[in-house]
Structure 1
Amino acid sequence: MASMMFTDCSSAATSRLIPLHRRTGAVFLRHCVGQLRLRTTSSERSCSTLSVRSSSSPTPVVSADANSEAAASAMVIDGKAVAKKIREEIAVEVSRMKDSIGLVPGLAVILVGDRKDSATYVRNKKKACGSVGINSFEVHLPEDSSEGEVLKFVSSFNDDPSVHGILVQLPLPSHMNEENVLSAISCEKDVDGFGSQNIGELAMRGREPLFVPCTPKGCIELLRRYNIEIKGKRAVVIGRSNIVGMPAALLLLGEDATVSIVHSRTKNPEDITRQADIIISAVGQPNMVRGNWIKPGAVIIDVGINPVEDPKAPRGYRLVGDICYEEARSVASAITPVPGGVGPMTIAMLLSNTLLSAKRIHNFR
């Protein structure tokens, strides 16, 4: 079995790339490894098979009530279908904007280095922009570029009226100060929503950030589009990263859920998670959350996307989430698959934020 780690993560299609492995909390590791080692036979094999069913229509009403009985197999929350619908809606608005005022939203991406995964994500974003009619601008700099060169392009895009959204693909090379680069992006074009002003506004009651971070926004949008009630429910967010965990918890609070955050120093994480009507997991550890962590009838949003070795797979590996899918779907009432759940929503929310920025800048309604 793979060694236990508890890390911050984002979706594979996230607007920013997060390394799969970060420094973890030893306390949590010692606590959880002992629990997981007890389940290395049949339950491990059940987690190794992702049999994903797709939902034909992302509009049913799903109960996240603690007293509801889970179906024999949980309903699959189809992120692909929802993201496709959102892209269609965005394309209509982009076309309307172009016809009305002759303007097309623009998204600029800065990529530094030659990481294949980063390059793949940037290509996916460019393709997604093209599918909805958004202009895509890309700068690809060599690994040994200076921080000043990156800042120069950020400044140029800040001043470019044809660019309405800017993101810098992470991770940056180690010789660059990530905070310096990201803070240089204009707040009005921070479509990733990670700037201190946007996060600060998100954290304050009665305030509205200019942009909500894409992956957490996608999680909440999935719940809304499936008519899953959030108000008054107990929600647990597993992971406290600035990119997913913390903003997801803040969004759930804004929807009037009662929220707990499980992290690397949490004692008895299984007991806390088992109380949840809604679980959002974003830690980057394959199959960490087992079926006995889940309350019957809970709704599960799995942000984790983790490569695990699989000799039978064409690429020698396959992708799994933080949640043991086969165990969880026999307990939960609804669950997102991996892949095909949160990932497609992240890019859809990036496009949505870019359109929102263009509308705001040009006062287009």
Structure 2
Amino acid sequence: MNDLLRTAPAARPAAPADPALPRLAFLGVGWIGRHRMKSLLEAGLAEAVALADASPEALEEAARIAPGARVHSSLDALIAERPDGLVIATPSAQHAEQAIAALEAGIAVFCQKPLGRSEAEARAVIEAARRADRLLGVDFSYRHTAGMEAIRELVRSGALGTLLALDLTFHNAYGPDKPWFYDRALSGGGAVMDLGVHLVDLALWLLDFPEIAHVDSHLSAGGEPLVAGMEAVEDFAVATLTPRSGPVIRIACSWRLQAGRDAVIEASVYGTGGGAAMRNVDGSFYDFVTERFHGTRREALARPPEDWGGKAIAAWAARLARSKGFDPSAEGLAAVSAAIDRIYAAAR
């Protein structure tokens, strides 16, 4: 248990909250935590009432974004603020424990991915949300790009005919800059847990979470196959997920791949009546072009620029403003974690 759970609070006066907006506390205000908080505040979707982080520097930067929020250094202090919701952006090993603590206190939760390092951890959080009847969300932000929303509509409407395959890729020319990413006990895994989780989520979400009958995978670290007993986490992975009915799902992800660009991010769907794909532009992590395919022809569905990074948390906050109650769609989060578990198991 880290300092965010046991350190005594160091508070400062807070500005009055707007009763019309959800009152949110933010646990972990590094880059991603600050970005999500800033997007909510600028959109006028929530009130930041409290912040906590083990890093004084991160807290100082976050306080400039939300000058009315109380500053703390413990989860207990955030819970004592009795916010409507808690936004978690801490290392992966802490997600489940912190989310469950908040939910058991009657506080809704929005968590960075992964929700847990395993299906067991994810299911424990979901069950806590169900028991507390509180809203639970995870930052699977790629669902909220205009391109993926358009592709999902094509899939759901049957416009692509019988689906044959989904191909999803996320190669990053860099590796994570925090040591805990490379410690399996803290991260739960390497590139699959960091990047592949987005791909698995997109595939299952597009297909309305089918039952997966079989999984094949190959994981490697530094060019060597990842086998049982190795302490290293994978920096390259390919996997095939075969649903009991429906198209084959193929994913590939990596850190530090020498692809001549910062990133390669693609999600393609192929069917008997056409296809569609979302692809990043010139190695960008943020700009995507999405097209629909008709044989050898193509038509544009979405083009940059698009500010999509904060849409997942915005949707959660809007839902929270209407109701704090449990959303049964959270069950899909367990399916994602279960598929990740099977990718690791198949490789070993």
Higher RCO structure, 1 or 2 (CA under 8 Å, sep 6+) = 1
Normalised to the residue count of structure 1, the TM-score between the two structures is: 0.42
